[in-house]
Structure 1
């Protein structure tokens, strides 16, 4: 199957590309300034805002499905970051949808976030941040294209992720660095509950959704991928210490909760049908540490 992937050089994208590359012809959409290495056997198209050119590429290469993972994540934005965030999170996806018009593309799998729902008990949209608002804005743009073209558009909403090859300044990267340095780690009081998935489970979710779409299963517009069990930040650190066999010098309450901290992850989402996480948090951390050779 000919597949177009955005965000294929990012953390989750790299793992998805690795999983799909043996059975599918992959085409990575990259921006002109990308400096990432492209895997062998994977084609690329450099998107320089020429939508007509992208449309022609999709036609000529008979692209049938799109994985849209590209995003610019900003937890707490600054004014100067707004333009690039909107270009990445709204414009790029909209340009791709425009380019898929009157082509062989049957479906688009989009990536959303739990952060689109600040209140855990509400089904309605309530953005935690401007980043989350930009993710929702693209979904609203996509609604037009699903009305005027015979294309399926499904969003997978993710919470936190981790795994080998993750260079983002996320929780487990920080914990691993703290083990190496032995320095004090100033953290919030740590009572917020986290939903964390290993990247292997996330990739399996994307691949499974592709399977459902290719089988023409009746699907809704969005689903979540959720961990087998949720833990507080304090519990996550304790599990990390247990698996690594190392004590981390954490100062709980050393910094305050950030503005609009999510204390309970969204629990009104619909789980992707016929999918479940395979790895427990402990198993995922064990795999993560073994892959990074930090035990």
Structure 2
């Protein structure tokens, strides 16, 4: 029979493993007759795993019917199977740097370290120095007015090959500007998905917004007079103390003066003249004279009693 392939094909890997091939036992070669070209190949290739690191000789042998019968053709190749290189050590860390001005904070999120290469589209070893995905979260009431709070390469997948350093530039390209509703303490979180053993790295920053105070207008300082140089005091004698005598009580008038004052006759009141309309004028006059004399005698008796009492 005439065919377009070799009689058989074998690959020996140089160790104790069985060879791979497509031998067809039971066929024999004719020594006469027509000839025909042939070609034999392994389109999918062969795969073999060695148990230990060493140098091996791989031999490929093909069998065909040639002149005089069965013939062979060989090809050898030497391979050095070294120990598998350990996976590079990769690690990542998230950071948030910020400054505060009043109620507004300016944030710079970033990721530092190294990560494995990515697989993106047809590229099996894409070297991107950015996380797969990153997001930022803010407290309720905060308003973001600048920068990007999320991003990354969502369609990429991580590999275990190579080591790529993260881009030192901040993630969003522009700082993130956030305004808080009032003074207080707020927490902002950055979460990044990286091709490392940690897979997800995060950072929480506590931002303190101090209370605002009214701006005071500067006052012009009042010029002060120069302080006089102190002089040594000259000792002086104390002034003499003036003594005041206690004033005496006013003296009472002597008894003689009291007596003299009492001896002064007091003007006697004139008795009321009464007239007896029933009698005559003579009786009326005598009664008036008698009244005067009686009044004088009565006054003398009163003065005598007062003297005896004193």
TM-score of the two chains, using structure 2 as the length reference: 0.18
Larger RCO, structures 1/2 (Cα 8 Å, 6+ apart): 1
TM-score, length basis structure 1: 0.19
